[in-house]
Protein backbone atom coordinates (compact mmCIF):
# COMPACT_ATOMS: atom_id res chain seq x y z
CA UNK A 1 0.00 0.00 0.00
CA UNK A 2 2.73 2.47 0.95
CA UNK A 3 4.53 2.11 -2.38
CA UNK A 4 1.44 3.08 -4.36
CA UNK A 5 0.36 5.79 -1.94
CA UNK A 6 3.73 7.56 -2.11
CA UNK A 7 3.76 7.32 -5.90
CA UNK A 8 0.26 8.64 -6.60
CA UNK A 9 1.25 12.35 -6.55
CA UNK A 10 3.90 11.74 -9.22
CA UNK A 11 2.46 9.24 -11.75
CA UNK A 12 0.70 11.87 -13.87
CA UNK A 13 3.93 13.83 -14.24
CA UNK A 14 5.44 10.76 -15.89
CA UNK A 15 2.53 10.36 -18.32
CA UNK A 16 0.59 7.72 -16.40
CA UNK A 17 -3.02 8.19 -15.31
CA UNK A 18 -3.87 5.71 -12.57
CA UNK A 19 -6.89 4.22 -10.83
CA UNK A 20 -6.63 2.29 -7.59
CA UNK A 21 -8.59 -0.79 -6.55
CA UNK A 22 -8.38 -1.65 -2.85
CA UNK A 23 -10.23 -3.58 -0.18
CA UNK A 24 -12.63 -1.38 1.76
CA UNK A 25 -11.09 -0.68 5.15
CA UNK A 26 -14.26 -2.00 6.81
CA UNK A 27 -13.09 -5.51 5.97
CA UNK A 28 -9.50 -5.15 7.17
CA UNK A 29 -8.38 -6.14 10.66
CA UNK A 30 -5.33 -3.88 10.72
CA UNK A 31 -4.79 -0.49 12.30
CA UNK A 32 -6.74 2.14 10.33
CA UNK A 33 -5.09 5.51 9.71
CA UNK A 34 -7.45 8.05 8.06
CA UNK A 35 -4.62 10.59 7.90
CA UNK A 36 -3.16 8.61 5.00
CA UNK A 37 -5.85 10.16 2.82
CA UNK A 38 -4.26 13.60 3.26
CA UNK A 39 -1.33 12.58 1.06
CA UNK A 40 -3.43 11.21 -1.83
CA UNK A 41 -4.34 13.55 -4.72
CA UNK A 42 -8.10 14.09 -4.73
CA UNK A 43 -8.40 13.47 -8.48
CA UNK A 44 -7.24 9.84 -8.26
CA UNK A 45 -10.18 7.42 -8.75
CA UNK A 46 -10.23 4.90 -5.90
CA UNK A 47 -12.45 1.84 -6.12
CA UNK A 48 -13.21 -0.13 -2.95
CA UNK A 49 -14.16 -3.79 -2.98
CA UNK A 50 -15.73 -6.00 -0.35
CA UNK A 51 -14.30 -9.09 1.31
CA UNK A 52 -15.84 -12.10 2.99
CA UNK A 53 -16.40 -11.62 6.71
CA UNK A 54 -13.45 -12.95 8.68
CA UNK A 55 -15.73 -14.13 11.47
CA UNK A 56 -17.07 -16.78 9.11
CA UNK A 57 -14.01 -17.59 7.00
CA UNK A 58 -11.78 -18.01 10.07
CA UNK A 59 -13.93 -20.99 11.04
CA UNK A 60 -12.59 -22.62 7.89
CA UNK A 61 -9.06 -21.52 8.71
CA UNK A 62 -9.03 -18.72 6.12
CA UNK A 63 -8.35 -15.30 7.59
CA UNK A 64 -6.19 -13.86 4.79
CA UNK A 65 -7.60 -10.61 3.40
CA UNK A 66 -6.22 -11.62 -0.02
CA UNK A 67 -8.26 -14.82 -0.14
CA UNK A 68 -11.33 -13.18 1.39
CA UNK A 69 -11.37 -10.41 -1.24
CA UNK A 70 -10.29 -12.37 -4.33
CA UNK A 71 -13.73 -12.89 -5.86
CA UNK A 72 -14.69 -9.24 -5.24
CA UNK A 73 -11.50 -8.00 -6.90
CA UNK A 74 -12.24 -10.19 -9.90
CA UNK A 75 -15.77 -8.86 -10.27
CA UNK A 76 -14.88 -5.17 -9.84
CA UNK A 77 -11.83 -5.12 -12.09
CA UNK A 78 -13.69 -7.09 -14.76
CA UNK A 79 -16.15 -4.20 -14.95
CA UNK A 80 -13.39 -1.58 -15.07
CA UNK A 81 -11.46 -3.35 -17.81
CA UNK A 82 -14.61 -3.96 -19.83
CA UNK A 83 -15.77 -0.35 -19.71
CA UNK A 84 -12.45 1.54 -19.81
CA UNK A 85 -9.12 1.71 -21.63
CA UNK A 86 -6.23 0.44 -19.54
CA UNK A 87 -2.68 -0.31 -20.63
CA UNK A 88 -1.27 -2.08 -17.59
CA UNK A 89 -2.22 -3.76 -14.30
CA UNK A 90 0.15 -3.16 -11.40
CA UNK A 91 0.12 -5.35 -8.30
CA UNK A 92 1.91 -3.66 -5.42
CA UNK A 93 0.98 -5.53 -2.25
CA UNK A 94 2.33 -8.17 0.08
CA UNK A 95 -1.07 -9.91 -0.10
CA UNK A 96 0.36 -11.92 -2.96
CA UNK A 97 -2.51 -14.37 -3.72
CA UNK A 98 -4.35 -11.43 -5.33
CA UNK A 99 -1.67 -11.42 -8.05
CA UNK A 100 -3.03 -14.66 -9.47
CA UNK A 101 -5.81 -12.57 -10.99
CA UNK A 102 -3.24 -10.99 -13.31
CA UNK A 103 -3.11 -14.25 -15.25
CA UNK A 104 -6.88 -14.27 -15.62
CA UNK A 105 -7.15 -10.61 -16.69
CA UNK A 106 -4.23 -10.95 -19.10
CA UNK A 107 -5.95 -13.87 -20.82
CA UNK A 108 -9.43 -12.32 -20.78
CA UNK A 109 -8.54 -8.72 -21.75
CA UNK A 110 -5.02 -8.97 -23.21
CA UNK A 111 -3.61 -6.49 -20.65
CA UNK A 112 -0.07 -7.07 -19.34
CA UNK A 113 0.65 -7.00 -15.63
CA UNK A 114 3.58 -6.18 -13.35
CA UNK A 115 4.18 -7.57 -9.86
CA UNK A 116 6.01 -5.63 -7.15
CA UNK A 117 7.88 -8.07 -4.91
CA UNK A 118 8.13 -6.15 -1.63
CA UNK A 119 8.82 -9.41 0.24
CA UNK A 120 9.40 -12.98 -0.87
CA UNK A 121 6.17 -14.69 -1.89
CA UNK A 122 7.03 -18.37 -1.62
CA UNK A 123 10.12 -19.03 0.50
CA UNK A 124 11.85 -21.99 2.14
CA UNK A 125 13.19 -19.74 4.89
CA UNK A 126 11.04 -21.27 7.65
CA UNK A 127 11.36 -24.88 6.50
CA UNK A 128 14.19 -25.67 8.93
CA UNK A 129 12.88 -23.43 11.72
CA UNK A 130 11.21 -24.73 14.90
CA UNK A 131 7.44 -24.86 14.79
CA UNK A 132 7.09 -22.00 17.28
CA UNK A 133 9.06 -19.69 14.96
CA UNK A 134 6.88 -20.37 11.94
CA UNK A 135 4.02 -18.07 10.92
CA UNK A 136 0.45 -19.14 11.73
CA UNK A 137 -1.05 -21.73 9.34
CA UNK A 138 2.40 -22.25 7.82
CA UNK A 139 1.61 -25.70 6.40
CA UNK A 140 -1.27 -24.35 4.33
CA UNK A 141 0.29 -21.03 3.30
CA UNK A 142 3.57 -22.67 2.27
CA UNK A 143 1.83 -24.96 -0.21
CA UNK A 144 -0.64 -22.37 -1.45
CA UNK A 145 2.11 -19.81 -2.06
CA UNK A 146 4.25 -22.35 -3.88
CA UNK A 147 1.40 -23.15 -6.27
CA UNK A 148 0.15 -19.60 -6.88
CA UNK A 149 3.59 -18.02 -7.21
CA UNK A 150 4.53 -20.41 -9.99
CA UNK A 151 1.49 -19.49 -12.08
CA UNK A 152 1.56 -15.74 -11.47
CA UNK A 153 5.31 -15.21 -11.90
CA UNK A 154 5.61 -17.35 -15.04
CA UNK A 155 2.99 -15.18 -16.74
CA UNK A 156 3.97 -11.75 -15.46
CA UNK A 157 5.18 -9.20 -17.98
CA UNK A 158 7.51 -7.43 -15.58
CA UNK A 159 8.89 -7.46 -12.07
CA UNK A 160 9.74 -4.75 -9.57
CA UNK A 161 11.45 -5.61 -6.31
CA UNK A 162 13.01 -3.94 -3.30
CA UNK A 163 15.85 -6.46 -3.52
CA UNK A 164 17.96 -7.71 -6.41
CA UNK A 165 18.12 -11.07 -4.63
CA UNK A 166 14.34 -11.48 -4.91
CA UNK A 167 14.48 -11.00 -8.67
CA UNK A 168 17.50 -13.28 -9.10
CA UNK A 169 15.80 -16.04 -7.14
CA UNK A 170 12.64 -15.80 -9.24
CA UNK A 171 14.47 -15.71 -12.58
CA UNK A 172 16.52 -18.75 -11.59
CA UNK A 173 13.42 -20.55 -10.38
CA UNK A 174 11.36 -19.65 -13.48
CA UNK A 175 13.71 -19.33 -16.50
CA UNK A 176 10.77 -18.35 -18.75
CA UNK A 177 10.86 -14.82 -17.27
CA UNK A 178 14.63 -14.40 -17.60
CA UNK A 179 14.41 -11.76 -20.33
CA UNK A 180 11.32 -9.95 -19.14
CA UNK A 181 11.73 -6.38 -17.86
CA UNK A 182 12.66 -6.08 -14.19
CA UNK A 183 13.93 -3.36 -11.88
CA UNK A 184 15.17 -3.07 -8.32
CA UNK A 185 13.30 -0.12 -6.80
CA UNK A 186 13.37 0.45 -3.07
CA UNK A 187 10.68 2.32 -1.20
CA UNK A 188 11.17 6.06 -1.38
CA UNK A 189 11.40 8.79 1.23
CA UNK A 190 8.14 10.75 1.22
CA UNK A 191 8.74 13.99 3.09
CA UNK A 192 5.10 15.19 3.29
CA UNK A 193 4.41 12.36 5.73
CA UNK A 194 6.67 13.88 8.38
CA UNK A 195 4.70 17.13 8.29
CA UNK A 196 1.34 15.32 8.41
CA UNK A 197 2.43 13.40 11.51
CA UNK A 198 3.70 16.52 13.25
CA UNK A 199 0.60 18.58 12.43
CA UNK A 200 -1.68 15.91 13.91
CA UNK A 201 0.37 14.95 16.96
CA UNK A 202 -2.45 15.72 19.40
CA UNK A 203 -4.37 12.74 18.01
CA UNK A 204 -1.81 10.23 19.28
CA UNK A 205 -0.86 8.89 22.69
CA UNK A 206 2.78 9.49 23.64
CA UNK A 207 4.36 6.06 24.08
CA UNK A 208 7.75 7.27 25.35
CA UNK A 209 8.91 8.18 28.86
CA UNK A 210 10.51 11.62 28.99
CA UNK A 211 12.52 10.65 32.07
CA UNK A 212 14.72 8.44 29.90
CA UNK A 213 16.86 8.66 26.78
CA UNK A 214 14.50 6.87 24.39
CA UNK A 215 15.89 4.73 21.56
CA UNK A 216 13.09 3.50 19.30
CA UNK A 217 12.46 0.79 16.72
CA UNK A 218 9.03 0.36 15.15
CA UNK A 219 8.26 -2.68 13.04
CA UNK A 220 7.89 -6.41 13.23
CA UNK A 221 9.90 -8.47 15.67
CA UNK A 222 10.87 -12.12 15.53
CA UNK A 223 13.64 -14.53 16.44
CA UNK A 224 15.30 -13.83 13.08
CA UNK A 225 16.26 -10.38 14.44
CA UNK A 226 17.94 -11.65 17.59
CA UNK A 227 21.41 -11.73 16.06
CA UNK A 228 21.15 -8.02 15.25
CA UNK A 229 19.72 -7.09 18.66
CA UNK A 230 21.98 -9.27 20.82
CA UNK A 231 25.13 -7.07 20.48
CA UNK A 232 23.13 -4.07 21.72
CA UNK A 233 21.78 -5.93 24.74
CA UNK A 234 25.26 -7.23 25.50
CA UNK A 235 26.71 -3.71 25.40
CA UNK A 236 23.85 -2.42 27.55
CA UNK A 237 24.37 -5.16 30.14
CA UNK A 238 28.09 -4.49 30.30
CA UNK A 239 27.56 -0.77 30.64
CA UNK A 240 25.11 -1.31 33.50
CA UNK A 241 27.27 -3.77 35.41
CA UNK A 242 30.97 -3.21 34.66
CA UNK A 243 31.03 0.55 34.27
CA UNK A 244 28.43 1.47 36.85
CA UNK A 245 27.77 4.51 34.67
CA UNK A 246 24.50 6.24 35.55
CA UNK A 247 24.16 7.09 31.85
CA UNK A 248 23.28 3.49 30.94
CA UNK A 249 20.52 3.41 33.54
CA UNK A 250 18.91 6.35 31.73
CA UNK A 251 18.55 4.39 28.47
CA UNK A 252 15.24 2.89 27.40
CA UNK A 253 14.92 0.79 24.23
CA UNK A 254 11.48 0.57 22.63
CA UNK A 255 10.36 -2.11 20.17
CA UNK A 256 6.90 -1.12 18.96
CA UNK A 257 4.43 -3.01 16.77
CA UNK A 258 6.40 -6.25 16.79
CA UNK A 259 3.50 -8.64 16.10
CA UNK A 260 1.03 -9.02 13.25
CA UNK A 261 -1.49 -10.63 15.61
CA UNK A 262 -4.72 -8.80 16.50
CA UNK A 263 -4.41 -6.20 19.25
CA UNK A 264 -3.78 -7.77 22.63
CA UNK A 265 -2.93 -11.19 21.19
CA UNK A 266 0.68 -10.71 20.12
CA UNK A 267 3.47 -12.69 21.77
CA UNK A 268 6.66 -10.78 22.69
CA UNK A 269 9.72 -11.86 20.72
CA UNK A 270 12.21 -9.21 21.86
CA UNK A 271 11.50 -8.94 25.58
CA UNK A 272 12.43 -12.59 26.22
CA UNK A 273 15.86 -11.86 24.74
CA UNK A 274 16.19 -8.82 27.01
CA UNK A 275 15.28 -11.02 29.98
CA UNK A 276 17.93 -13.50 28.93
CA UNK A 277 20.57 -10.76 29.13
CA UNK A 278 19.20 -9.24 32.32
CA UNK A 279 18.25 -5.89 30.76
CA UNK A 280 14.47 -6.24 30.65
CA UNK A 281 14.02 -3.20 32.90
CA UNK A 282 15.51 -1.08 30.11
CA UNK A 283 13.49 -2.59 27.26
CA UNK A 284 9.85 -1.99 26.35
CA UNK A 285 8.16 -4.23 23.78
CA UNK A 286 4.71 -3.24 22.55
CA UNK A 287 3.45 -6.05 20.35
CA UNK A 288 0.35 -4.18 19.12
CA UNK A 289 0.75 -2.38 15.82
CA UNK A 290 0.27 1.37 15.78
CA UNK A 291 -0.87 3.51 12.88
CA UNK A 292 1.56 4.78 10.27
CA UNK A 293 1.50 8.40 11.39
CA UNK A 294 1.62 7.41 15.04
CA UNK A 295 4.78 5.54 14.07
CA UNK A 296 6.26 8.58 12.34
CA UNK A 297 5.46 10.83 15.28
CA UNK A 298 7.00 8.37 17.73
CA UNK A 299 10.19 8.25 15.65
CA UNK A 300 10.32 12.06 15.75
CA UNK A 301 9.80 12.09 19.52
CA UNK A 302 12.65 9.64 20.14
CA UNK A 303 16.15 10.70 21.14
CA UNK A 304 17.66 8.13 18.78
CA UNK A 305 16.59 5.28 16.52
CA UNK A 306 17.60 1.64 16.12
CA UNK A 307 16.93 -0.62 13.11
CA UNK A 308 17.73 -4.33 13.62
CA UNK A 309 17.76 -6.49 10.50
CA UNK A 310 16.83 -10.12 9.94
CA UNK A 311 19.31 -12.97 9.72
CA UNK A 312 17.84 -13.50 6.24
CA UNK A 313 20.32 -11.82 3.84
CA UNK A 314 17.47 -10.91 1.47
CA UNK A 315 15.82 -8.74 4.12
CA UNK A 316 16.05 -5.10 3.09
CA UNK A 317 14.02 -3.27 5.77
CA UNK A 318 12.22 -1.21 3.15
CA UNK A 319 10.91 1.12 5.86
CA UNK A 320 14.31 2.66 6.58
CA UNK A 321 13.38 5.94 4.88
CA UNK A 322 11.04 7.30 7.57
CA UNK A 323 13.91 6.80 10.02
CA UNK A 324 16.20 8.84 7.81
CA UNK A 325 13.64 11.62 7.34
CA UNK A 326 13.48 12.22 11.11
CA UNK A 327 17.13 13.35 11.14
CA UNK A 328 17.71 11.45 14.39
CA UNK A 329 20.91 9.59 15.39
CA UNK A 330 20.56 6.13 13.92
CA UNK A 331 22.06 2.74 14.77
CA UNK A 332 21.44 0.01 12.18
CA UNK A 333 22.65 -3.60 12.45
CA UNK A 334 21.97 -6.03 9.60
CA UNK A 335 23.08 -9.26 8.02
CA UNK A 336 26.29 -8.33 6.21
CA UNK A 337 24.75 -9.29 2.86
CA UNK A 338 21.69 -7.09 3.22
CA UNK A 339 21.29 -4.35 0.61
CA UNK A 340 20.24 -1.99 3.42
CA UNK A 341 23.88 -1.57 4.51
CA UNK A 342 25.19 0.09 1.32
CA UNK A 343 22.05 2.23 1.05
CA UNK A 344 22.44 3.54 4.58
CA UNK A 345 26.15 4.13 4.08
CA UNK A 346 25.49 6.07 0.89
CA UNK A 347 23.26 8.39 2.92
CA UNK A 348 26.14 8.95 5.32
CA UNK A 349 24.79 6.99 8.30
CA UNK A 350 27.82 6.55 10.54
CA UNK A 351 26.63 3.69 12.68
CA UNK A 352 25.54 0.90 10.34
CA UNK A 353 27.08 -2.53 10.94
CA UNK A 354 27.16 -6.20 10.04
CA UNK A 355 25.87 -8.11 13.09
CA UNK A 356 28.82 -10.51 12.85
CA UNK A 357 31.36 -7.68 12.96
CA UNK A 358 29.82 -5.01 15.18
CA UNK A 359 31.72 -4.46 18.43
CA UNK A 360 30.94 -3.12 21.87
CA UNK A 361 33.11 -0.12 20.99
CA UNK A 362 30.92 0.58 17.92
CA UNK A 363 27.74 0.55 19.99
CA UNK A 364 29.24 2.65 22.79
CA UNK A 365 30.38 5.23 20.23
CA UNK A 366 26.79 5.52 19.07
CA UNK A 367 25.44 5.75 22.60
CA UNK A 368 28.05 8.30 23.69
CA UNK A 369 26.50 11.00 21.49
CA UNK A 370 23.29 10.69 23.53
CA UNK A 371 24.80 11.69 26.87
CA UNK A 372 23.16 15.10 26.93
CA UNK A 373 19.88 13.73 25.52
CA UNK A 374 19.88 16.28 22.68
CA UNK A 375 22.46 15.21 20.09
CA UNK A 376 23.27 17.04 16.88
CA UNK A 377 21.14 15.91 13.90
CA UNK A 378 23.05 13.93 11.27
CA UNK A 379 23.87 15.46 7.90
CA UNK A 380 22.97 13.21 4.99
CA UNK A 381 24.23 13.27 1.40
CA UNK A 382 21.87 15.42 -0.69
CA UNK A 383 22.46 13.48 -3.91
CA UNK A 384 21.49 10.25 -2.17
CA UNK A 385 18.42 11.89 -0.64
CA UNK A 386 17.25 12.82 -4.13
CA UNK A 387 18.12 9.38 -5.51
CA UNK A 388 15.92 7.63 -2.98
CA UNK A 389 13.05 10.11 -2.88
CA UNK A 390 9.51 8.87 -3.50
CA UNK A 391 9.37 11.01 -6.64
CA UNK A 392 12.47 9.39 -8.13
CA UNK A 393 11.19 5.93 -7.19
CA UNK A 394 8.01 6.74 -9.13
CA UNK A 395 10.08 7.77 -12.15
CA UNK A 396 11.83 4.39 -11.95
CA UNK A 397 8.53 2.52 -11.76
CA UNK A 398 7.21 4.33 -14.84
CA UNK A 399 10.36 3.48 -16.77
CA UNK A 400 9.68 -0.18 -16.07
CA UNK A 401 6.03 0.20 -17.11
CA UNK A 402 7.15 1.77 -20.39
CA UNK A 403 9.61 -1.07 -21.00
CA UNK A 404 6.82 -3.58 -20.54
CA UNK A 405 4.53 -1.80 -22.99
CA UNK A 406 7.29 -1.36 -25.56
CA UNK A 407 8.22 -5.03 -25.30
CA UNK A 408 4.62 -6.17 -25.60
CA UNK A 409 3.93 -3.93 -28.60
CA UNK A 410 7.09 -5.26 -30.24
CA UNK A 411 6.02 -8.84 -29.66
CA UNK A 412 2.53 -8.21 -31.07
CA UNK A 413 3.83 -6.42 -34.13
Over residues 337-351, the pLDDT tens digits come to 988 899 899 999 999
**What is the pLDDT tens value at each position of the chain, 413 positions in all?**
789 999 999 999 999 999 999 998 887 776 678 888 899 999 999 999 998 877 665 655 566 888 888 899 999 999 999 998 999 999 998 888 999 999 999 999 999 999 999 887 777 666 677 777 776 666 567 778 788 889 999 999 999 998 888 899 999 999 999 999 999 998 888 888 999 999 999 999 999 999 999 999 999 999 999 999 999 999 999 999 886 678 999 999 999 999 988 788 899 999 999 999 999 999 999 999 998 899 999 999 999 999 999 998 877 666 788 898 898 999 999 999 988 899 899 999 999 999 999 999 999 999 999 987 677 788 888 898 898 899 999 999 999 999 999 998 887 65
Hey, what long-range contacts does 314-320 have (CB within 8 A, 24 or more apart)?
314/120, 314/163, 314/165, 314/166, 314/169, 314/338, 315/224, 315/340, 316/162, 316/163, 316/186, 316/340, 317/219, 318/118, 318/162, 318/186, 318/187, 319/187, 319/219, 320/344
Length of the chain: 413
Global pTM?
0.79
* CB-count exposure of residue 246 (10 Å: 0-12, 13-18, 19+): exposed
Q: What is the pLDDT of residue 373?
A: 65
CATH of the domain spanning 1-188+389-405, picked from 3.40.50.2000, 1.20.1300.10, 3.40.640.10, 3.40.190.10: 3.40.50.2000
Task: Spell out the residues 6+ positions from residue 18 whose beta carbon is closer than 8 angstroms to its own.
Answer: 8, 11, 12, 44
For 333, the enclosing helix (H) or strand (E) is strand 330-334
CA-closest candidate to residue 260, choices 291, 288, 284, 285: 288
CA-closest candidate to residue 171, choices 107, 244, 112, 115: 115
- Which fold, 193-386? Rossmann fold (3.40.50)
- Nearest 5°: the CA angle 316, 253, 354 is 35
* CB-count exposure of residue 39 (10 Å: 0-12, 13-18, 19+): middle
Hey, what long-range contacts does 63-68 have (CB within 8 A, 24 or more apart)?
63/29, 63/137, 64/95, 64/97, 64/141, 65/23, 65/27, 65/28, 65/29, 65/95, 66/93, 66/95, 66/96, 66/97, 66/98, 67/97, 68/27
pLDDT in tens, 25-73: 887 776 678 888 899 999 999 999 998 877 665 655 566 888 888 899 9
159: helix, strand or coil:
strand
Q: What is the pLDDT of residue 96?
A: 87
Per-domain residue ranges of the chain: 1-188+389-405, 193-386
- Look at strands 304-308 and 213-218 and give their pairing: parallel
Domains 1-188+389-405 and 193-386 share a fold: yes
Amino acid sequence: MQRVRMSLPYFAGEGWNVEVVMVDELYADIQIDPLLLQSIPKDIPIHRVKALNKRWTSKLGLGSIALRSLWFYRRKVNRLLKDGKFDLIYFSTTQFPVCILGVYWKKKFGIPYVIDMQDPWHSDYYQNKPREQRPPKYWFSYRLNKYLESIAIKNTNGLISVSEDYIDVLKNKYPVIKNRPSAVITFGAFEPDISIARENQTEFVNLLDARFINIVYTGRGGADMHQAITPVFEALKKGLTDKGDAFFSRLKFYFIGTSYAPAGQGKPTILPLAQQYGVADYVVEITDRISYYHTLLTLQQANALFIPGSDDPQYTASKIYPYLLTQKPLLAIFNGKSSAIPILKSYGVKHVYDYEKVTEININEFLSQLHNGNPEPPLYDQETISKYSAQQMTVNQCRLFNQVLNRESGIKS
